[in-house]
Amino acid sequence: MVLPLVTFSDDGKLLGKGKRMFTWPPKVSLGLGTMHWGTTPLDKVIAGKIITDEEISLIQNRAASAGVTFIDTAEGYGGGSSERRLGRLRFSQSGFLIATKFIPTYWRWTPQAVVRAIRASNRRLGIESCDLGFVHSPIHPRSPDVWIKGFARAHEAKLIKAVGLSNFNAEQVRQAAQVAKEEGVPLVANQIQFNLLVAASTSLKETVQACHENGLTVVGYSVLGQGLLTDGLTERRWDKSVLAKRLKLSREELTPLRNTILKIAQNRNCRMSQVCLAWARAHHVVPLVGTRSLSQWEDSLDGLGVTLTQDETQELDSLALGRSTFDRARSQRLLILGFLSLLMTAYKVSSVFRAR
Ligand SMILES: NC(=O)c1ccc[n+]([C@@H]2O[C@H](COP(=O)([O-])OP(=O)(O)OC[C@H]3O[C@@H](n4cnc5c(N)ncnc54)[C@H](OP(=O)(O)O)[C@@H]3O)[C@@H](O)[C@H]2O)c1
């Protein structure tokens, strides 16, 4: 299905120039996450299976029919092979709002690095100008101001239409908003982890507040807790959960939260994943769902009909855990940066091959 390239809404901002404009925030509050849409052998090792182009085309059609046109990728996902897929399957030409992310690595130090990276992303995506470019993370030793300035140069060169932040805390959001204003580039979102495992953290609350003060939409990732908050949490999934380890979770502390999500889901005859997505929407967050099959995506779309009552939202809020994803020591940030830089290099090697 081909959607019109220009969409209008009463309450959204219309961004971009010429015939390829888009409204922000998206009319339907849901986005397709493509972190596991890479096609390299390394993706197969990390994700266990590779979703096919045919299944993604079905997801694309179902999304378009439901009016969901926001899709999130990154140069880092599958070393660019996730972006390449979106290009091959002509997501942009089908009217989807394409967001990608620039990843600050150890070999990137200047605004010009952003321009080069966005040019390469656009080439993979098969477009001249990307709708939304996120700074993937503020973990680099250089101030994030450098990347915002880089995005401003990319915006001047018509390589992107708007800019987003990702994993920026309250202070970093305020600083970035100031720089974006000085540079005259539209800053529209902050993409952060937003789920019931982190919602009670003070730094998350302050970050959301800073986003609202500066007119940024909060885009939530890992809203399903990467499967920790959905139906069918098996022992195997728990043991393999990277998020559980990263957030230092125990199964015991998860139980009251999961029981309440399940109770609400059973009362409403819906799925736990749909309760989590509805909870994020109740907080005016646009949730991304990491989709690895058509049936998962159909669940997410069916969940658009679920709206929680204030009492249900408050009950979930009262049980939310408060793991912080923002308060990391400098040494830890540099380690993560080193790991991401290595991963990017490994992907470069792996992307020479295509997984079977
Ligand atoms: N900016 C950042 O730093 C950042 C970080 C992480 C993610 N993201 C973005 O956010 C997206 C989503 O985040 P995420 O993948 O971390 O977390 P998520 O959406 O919480 O979890 C995705 C996992 O949940 C399962 N799932 C998906 N739909 C489901 C459904 N309807 N019912 C039950 N289970 C379902 C799938 O696992 P199984 O297939 O194993 O069942 C899937 O891999 C990513 O694709 C990416 O675009 C951004």
Q: Is the CB of 192 under 6 A from ligand 1?
A: no
Q: Which amino acid is at 68?
A: V
SS (H, E, C) 13-81: EEECCCCCCEEECCCCCCEEECCCCCCCHHHHHHHCCCCCHHHHHHHHHHHHHCCCCEEECCCCHHHHH
Chain Cα centroid distance, residue 186: 19
Ligand 1 geometric centre to CA of 289 (Å):
5
Q: Would residue 71 count as lying in a domain?
A: yes
SS (H, E, C) 260-285: HHHHHHHHHCCCHHHHHHHHHHHCCE
Q: Would residue 43 count as lying in a domain?
A: yes
Q: Is the CB of 223 under 6 A from ligand 1?
A: yes
Q: Would residue 116 count as lying in a domain?
A: yes
Ligand 1 geometric centre to CA of 147 (Å):
26
Q: Is the CB of 33 under 6 A from ligand 1?
A: yes
The dihedrals phi and psi of 179, each to the nearest 5 degrees, come to: -65, -45
Q: Is the CB of 35 under 6 A from ligand 1?
A: yes
User: What pLDDT does 246 receive?
Assistant: 92
- Please name the residue whose Cα sits nearest to atom 47 of ligand 1: 33
Q: DSSP string spanning 152-221? A: HHHHHTTSEEEEEEES--HHHHHHHHHHHHHHT--EEEEEEE-STTTTT-HHHHHHHHHHHHTTPEEEEE
Q: Would residue 356 count as lying in a domain?
A: no
Q: Is the CB of 144 under 6 A from ligand 1?
A: no
Q: Would residue 114 count as lying in a domain?
A: yes
Report whether 155 contacts 111 (CB < 8 A).
Answer: no
CA–CA dist 194, 128 (Å, integer): 31
Rg over CA atoms, the chain: 19
Q: Would residue 3 count as lying in a domain?
A: no
User: What pLDDT does 329 receive?
Assistant: 84
Q: Would residue 8 count as lying in a domain?
A: no
Domain count, the chain: 1
Q: From residue 194, how far is each of 69, 203, 208, 265 by CA, in Å?
A: 21, 12, 10, 19
Report whether 71 contacts 96 (CB < 8 A).
Answer: yes
User: What pLDDT does 5 receive?
Assistant: 41
Q: Give the CATH number for residue 49.
A: 3.20.20.100
Q: Would residue 355 count as lying in a domain?
A: no
Give kind and range of the element (H or E) at residue 102: strand 97-102
Q: Is the CB of 225 under 6 A from ligand 1?
A: yes
Residues with Cβ within 8 Å of 30's Cβ and at least 6 positions away in sequence, in order, are 68, 70, 277, 286, 287, 289, 300, 301, 304
**Per-residue tens of pLDDT for the chain, all 356 residues:** 433 344 444 467 888 877 778 889 999 999 999 999 999 999 998 888 899 999 999 999 999 999 999 999 999 999 999 999 999 999 999 999 999 999 999 999 999 999 999 999 999 999 999 999 999 999 999 999 999 999 999 999 999 999 999 999 999 999 999 999 999 999 999 999 999 999 999 999 999 999 999 999 999 999 999 999 999 899 999 999 999 999 999 999 999 999 999 999 999 999 999 999 999 999 999 999 999 999 999 999 999 999 999 999 999 999 999 998 887 888 888 999 999 999 989 988 887 776 65
User: What pLDDT does 303 receive?
Assistant: 97
Q: Domain range holding 144?
A: 13-234+241-350
